[in-house]
Amino acid sequence: MAANLLKAGWEVTAWNRSAGAVAELRQLGGKPSETVAALRDQPVIVFMLPDLSYIEESASGLLDEWRSLAPAPGTAVVVMSSVSPTGVQEFARTVHSASGGNAVVVDAPVSGGTTGAQDGTLAIMAGASEEVFQRLLPLFEAMGTTVRRMGALGAGSLAKACNQLIVGTTTAALAEAAELAERSGMDAAALFEVLAGGLAASRVLEIVGPRLAAKDYVPTGPAKFMHKDLKFVLESAEAVGAAVPMASAGVELYRELIDQGLGEKDLAVVRQAIANLSGTYAAS
C-alpha cells in the first residue's frame, strides 16, 4: 500500500515493526522513521496493524508528543486496519483530546487481500465527514479502485465487518461443500468449477476456492483474524438489536479453528478445521 502511494507521487515516511519492510520501502523511494512519534508533523498518518490494540500501543508516543505541542489543524489519523466500530470511535476521542482538537480520526478498512494491496485494487470503505473524505480521496485512490464513504466515523469499520461476515461464512460454506463432496467420492475442484458457472459464483469462490480444493493453507493472511472480525459483527448487531445467526455460527467455528492450532494458516484452513470436526462427529 505504501509502495503504491509512492508510485502515485506521494511522499511517504514509514515506520514498521519489521526493519526489513522499512528497508524495502526505502529502496522504492520512501523515508524511514525511527519511531511513530517522529511522524508527529505529518499531515496524514496511516495505521495498518492487526488490531486497534496494536495501534493504540504504537501511537502512545505520538499522542504524548501532541499533548506537549498540538499538531497542525486538520491532521488526519487514518485507521485502515479491521477494528471494532465502537473501539475506533473511542480511539478518536483519545486522539481529539491529545491533539487539542486538531487531529481527526478516519476509519478506512480495506478488502482485497494481499493481491489487492499489491495491485492497488483494494476496496476501501471510509467513515468520515464528507469534507475530510474528499480531502483524503486522492490518498485512497492511490491504493484502491473501489472507494466509498459509508458514513460517519465507525461506518467504515461496520462495512468491513459486514464484508467479513460474507467472506468468513462463504469460505466456511465452500469448505463444508468441499469436504462433503470428497467424502462422497466427488472431485472438489470439479464441483467448484461447475458452481462458478451458476448462482453460487462469487469472488470468494474464485479466489479462495482453488486453495480450498487443493488444501493449500500457505498463509496469505492468518485465519485467526476472521474470529476477531466476526466478533465485531456480533458487537455491532447487539448495539442495534439485529439477529446475526450466521455470524454467531462463524465465531464459534473460527474459535474452534484457533483452538485446533490452525490460526496462523490461510483462511482456507477452515476446511481442515471442519475435517477435524467431521472426525469428532464420526467418533461420537
pLDDT for 113: 87
pLDDT for 153: 98
Name the residue among 16, 49, 17, 47 with its Cα closest to residue 30: 16
- 167-211, pLDDT tens digit by residue? 999 999 999 999 999 999 999 999 999 999 999 999 999 999 999
How many domains is the chain built from? 2
Distance separating alpha carbons of residues 183 and 112, to the nearest angstrom? 31
Distance separating alpha carbons of residues 105 and 154, to the nearest angstrom? 10
What stretches of 104-244 show up as alpha helix (H) in DSSP? 113-119, 130-141, 155-183, 188-195, 203-214, 224-240
With a pLDDT cut of 70, the percent of the chain lying above it is 98
Rg of the chain, C-alpha, whole Å: 20
Query: Looking at residues 36-60, what average pLDDT do you find?
Result: 97
Distance separating alpha carbons of residues 249 and 247, to the nearest angstrom? 5
pLDDT for 278: 84
**End position of a domain, from candidates 100, 120, 151:** 151
Task: Kindly state the helix (H) or strand (E) to which residue 26 belongs, with its residue range.
Answer: helix 19-27
Task: Kindly state the helix (H) or strand (E) to which residue 124 belongs, with its residue range.
Answer: strand 122-127
Residues 200 and 122 in one domain: no
Residues 182 and 276 in one domain: yes
Distance separating alpha carbons of residues 51 and 91, to the nearest angstrom? 12
| Residue 32 pLDDT exceeds 60 | yes
Give 77's pLDDT tier (boundaries 50, 70, 90): very high
Specify whether the CB–CB gap between 103 and 77 falls below 8 A.
yes
Q: Which three cell numbers stand for residue 90?
A: 473511542
Residues 134 and 226 in one domain: no
Residues 142 and 177 in one domain: no
Kindly report the backbone phi and psi dihedral angles of residue 108, in degrees, each rounded to the nearest multiple of 5, phi listed first: -145, 65
Distance separating alpha carbons of residues 12 and 20, to the nearest angstrom? 16
Residues 261 and 188 in one domain: yes
- Residue 160 a catalytic site member: yes
pLDDT for 206: 96
Residues 11 and 105 in one domain: yes
**End position of a domain, from candidates 110, 136, 151:** 151
Give 280's pLDDT tier (boundaries 50, 70, 90): low
Distance separating alpha carbons of residues 217 and 220, to the nearest angstrom? 9
pLDDT for 42: 97
Residues 112 and 245 in one domain: no
Averaged pLDDT of the chain: 96
Buried b (16+ CB within 10 A) or exposed e, 225-244: bbbbbbbbbbebbeeeeeeb
Q: Which domain holds residue 124?
A: 2-151
**End position of a domain, from candidates 151, 176, 201:** 151
Query: Looking at residues 55-61, what average pLDDT do you find?
Result: 97
| Residue 282 pLDDT exceeds 70 | no
Give 114's pLDDT tier (boundaries 50, 70, 90): confident
- 141-171, pLDDT tens digit by residue? 999 999 999 999 999 999 999 999 999 999 9
pLDDT for 125: 98
Distance separating alpha carbons of residues 156 and 88, to the nearest angstrom? 10
pLDDT for 221: 87
Query: Looking at residues 251-256, what average pLDDT do you find?
Result: 98
Question: Does pTM surpass 0.85?
Answer: yes
pLDDT for 100: 98
Name the residue among 182, 183, 175 with its Cα closest to residue 262: 175
**Where residue 241 sits, what CATH number does that domain have?**
1.10.1040.10
pLDDT for 234: 97
Residues 195 and 270 in one domain: yes
Q: Which three cell numbers stand for residue 263?
A: 490460526
Q: Which of 7, 31, 160, 215 is catalytic?
A: 160
Give 284's pLDDT tier (boundaries 50, 70, 90): very low
Residues 237 and 104 in one domain: no
**Where residue 48 sits, what CATH number does that domain have?**
3.40.50.720
Residues 130 and 66 in one domain: yes
Residues 114 and 171 in one domain: no
Residues 42 and 127 in one domain: yes
